[in-house]
């Protein structure tokens, strides 16, 4: 290559993510009891089966009356019945009558207003009592009309919505017990490397505990996937393919860590070619995170993450989380926070930088971000101590303490 051509172009992060997501879709919907769907994504729109409230109800304890009978203080009414929550009064309120009523009870026919119990005097707490109006009411006061909250037939939730406890409360209230949600995707996690010892083992000379798989299995589970441990592939041709093919459940995504370069001991690229399927191998404009593989293995989408634990973890946040969301029928876009930088930073190079950082709040409640002093991509302790990634775009100018920068908070579970 001529000297003046410079290094080959790197793929921007957003483009890499778009390409990864393009090939992913949820596979199957299933019916699930509402109490089991926190974090699951609706496969269909949901309409209300019931109106809320189903009938006009009182918002207060008091008396259901006709406003026309209460236009002056000292007006007198006769108590003719009682409507309590779950025990409606089935008569009709006529001129000069009042029905004792409690919060949530159905407003009887004929009544159009609730007198607060504090605003009347009653001769007794029984039918036949005389009620004196001490405060003239506003017509219609303290009545929640039928359908105030939700009307039967209304669209209440759209397909693609991720269910939270509060949305479950809405669907339950509107008469549903089960909803159709997308199946949780099966995500296979495979480590690669001759130096790796399975967790629980004792590392011999030159060996380390394989931490990436447990991280990625936990990560995938926290994102709503069913994690599938595919074990450790040793650095030999065909090992990685064999591990994927030994999976006992159908996989929606295979995630590997390590072995993604084209070094003598890196075999993922060759194994993908051997599986006879498509391979996209990229150098991505991000740090940490190079190299990253995207392809298909036996027609299963594959994401090949770097081996260094922090590179692997940062790529999981940037690529795996949105990928699992897409396979689950939803979407994930990180919520970025604009924060004040607490120290100076040199100009950035051509790679988007994800600095391990701490996001805190100053006395005024404004976010302040402090990058960790050590940014080595092998240092899991630094990543474990971070609660955010300070994201610097390619060629970001030098920054000074006090400048505003963008931070991506790390999910507390990830």
Instruction: Name the residues that contact Mg ion, by CB under 5 A.
Output: 193, 258-259
By DSSP bridging, strand 300-305 and strand 292-297 are antiparallel
Smallest gap from residue 260 Cβ to ligand AMP (A):
6
Smallest gap from residue 5 Cβ to ligand AMP (A):
27
Q: Which of 296, 328, 291 is nearest to 307 (CA)?
A: 291
Residue 309 interface partner, choices Mg ion, ligand AMP, none, CB cut-off 5-8 Å depending on type: ligand AMP
92, 40 in Cβ contact below 8 A?
A: no
Q: Which residue is nearest to ligand AMP (CB)?
A: 307
- Which CB sits closer to ligand AMP, 328 or 375? 375
Angle at 12 between CA 358 and CA 254, to 5 degrees: 80
- Which CB sits closer to ligand AMP, 309 or 371? 309
Smallest gap from residue 245 Cβ to Mg ion (A):
20
Residue 365 contacts by C-beta under 8 Å, 6 or more apart in sequence?
Answer: none
Residue 111 interface partner, choices Mg ion, ligand AMP, none, CB cut-off 5-8 Å depending on type: none
Where along the sequence are the contacts to ligand AMP (CB under 6 A)?
191-193, 195-196, 208, 210-213, 257-261, 306-309
Residue 321: Cβ within 10 Å count? 21
Residue 371 interface partner, choices ligand AMP, Mg ion, none, CB cut-off 5-8 Å depending on type: none
Smallest gap from residue 211 Cβ to ligand AMP (A):
4
292, 285 in Cβ contact below 8 A?
A: no
- Which CB sits closer to ligand AMP, 247 or 268? 268
C-alpha span between 302 and 132 (Å, rounded): 77
By DSSP bridging, strand 97-101 and strand 62-65 are antiparallel
Smallest gap from residue 232 Cβ to Mg ion (A):
10
Six-digit token string for 57: 């109800």
Burial readout 302-319 (b: 16 or more C-beta within 10 A, e: otherwise): bbbbbbbbbbbbbbbbbb
Smallest gap from residue 166 Cβ to ligand AMP (A):
38
Residue 195 interface partner, choices Mg ion, ligand AMP, none, CB cut-off 5-8 Å depending on type: ligand AMP
Within 200-344, strands assigned E span 208-209, 226-233, 253-257, 279-282, 286-287, 292-297, 300-305, 337-341
DSSP annotation of 343 reads S
Smallest gap from residue 214 Cβ to ligand AMP (A):
9
Q: Which of 180, 147, 177 is nearest to 161 (CA)?
A: 180
- Which CB sits closer to ligand AMP, 171 or 260? 260
- Which CB sits closer to Mg ion, 185 or 258? 258
For 21, 81, 173, 246, the CA distances from 163, given in Å and listed in that order, are 21, 43, 14, 34
- Which CB sits closer to Mg ion, 306 or 322? 306
- Which CB sits closer to Mg ion, 313 or 341? 313
- Which CB sits closer to Mg ion, 260 or 327? 260
Residue 210 interface partner, choices Mg ion, ligand AMP, none, CB cut-off 5-8 Å depending on type: ligand AMP
Instruction: Tell me the backbone φ, ψ of residue 150, rounded to 5 degrees.
Output: -145, 140
- Asked if the peptide bond before residue 323 counts as cis, ω within 30 degrees of 0, the response is no
- Which CB sits closer to ligand AMP, 181 or 260? 260
Residue 196 interface partner, choices Mg ion, ligand AMP, none, CB cut-off 5-8 Å depending on type: ligand AMP
Smallest gap from residue 220 Cβ to ligand AMP (A):
14
C-alpha span between 188 and 308 (Å, rounded): 19
C-alpha span between 358 and 281 (Å, rounded): 32
Residue 211 interface partner, choices ligand AMP, Mg ion, none, CB cut-off 5-8 Å depending on type: ligand AMP
Smallest gap from residue 191 Cβ to ligand AMP (A):
4
């Amino acid at each position: 290559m001529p000297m003046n051509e410079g290094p080959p172009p790197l793929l921007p992060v957003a483009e890499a993510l778009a390409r990864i997501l393009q090939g992913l879709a949820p596979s199957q919907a299933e019916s699930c009891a509402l109490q089991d769907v926190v974090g699951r994504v609706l496969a269909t729109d949901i309409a209300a089966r019931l109106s809320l409230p189903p009938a006009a109800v009182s918002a207060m304890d008091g008396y259901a009356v006709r406003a026309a009978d209460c236009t002056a203080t000292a007006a007198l009414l006769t108590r003719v019945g009682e409507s309590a929550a779950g025990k409606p009064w089935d008569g009709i309120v006529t001129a000069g009558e009042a029905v004792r009523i409690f919060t949530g009870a159905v407003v009887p026919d004929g009544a159009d207003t609730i007198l607060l119990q504090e605003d009347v005097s009653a001769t007794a707490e029984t039918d036949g009592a005389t009620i004196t109006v001490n405060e003239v009411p506003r017509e219609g006061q303290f009545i929640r009309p039928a359908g105030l909250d939700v009307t039967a037939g209304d669209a209440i939730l759209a397909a693609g919505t991720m269910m939270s406890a509060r949305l479950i409360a809405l669907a339950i209230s509107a008469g549903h017990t089960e909803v159709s949600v997308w199946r949780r995707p099966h995500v296979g996690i495979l480590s690669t490397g001759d130096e790796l010892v399975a967790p629980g083992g004792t590392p011999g000379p030159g060996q380390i505990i394989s931490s990436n798989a447990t991280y990625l299995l936990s990560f995938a589970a926290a994102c709503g996937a069913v994690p599938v441990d595919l074990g450790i592939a040793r650095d030999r041709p065909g090992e990685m393919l064999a591990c994927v093919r030994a999976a006992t459940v159908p996989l929606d995504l295979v995630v590997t860590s390590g072995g993604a370069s084209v070094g003598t001991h890196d075999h993922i690229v060759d194994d993908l070619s051997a599986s006879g399927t498509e391979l996209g191998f990229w150098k991505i404009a991000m740090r940490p995170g190079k190299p990253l593989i995207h392809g298909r293995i036996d027609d299963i989408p594959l994401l090949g993450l770097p081996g260094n634990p922090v590179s692997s973890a940062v790529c999981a946040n940037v690529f795996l989380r949105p990928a699992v969301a897409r396979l689950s029928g939803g979407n994930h876009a990180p919520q970025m926070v604009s924060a004040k930088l607490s120290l100076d930073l040199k100009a950035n190079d051509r790679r988007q930088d994800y600095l391990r950082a701490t996001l805190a709040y100053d006395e005024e409640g404004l976010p302040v971000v402090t990058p960790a002093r050590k940014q080595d991509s092998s240092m899991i302790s630094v990543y474990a101590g971070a609660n955010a990634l300070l994201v610097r775009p390619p060629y970001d100018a030098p920054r000074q303490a006090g400048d505003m920068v963008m931070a991506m908070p790390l999910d507390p579970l990830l």
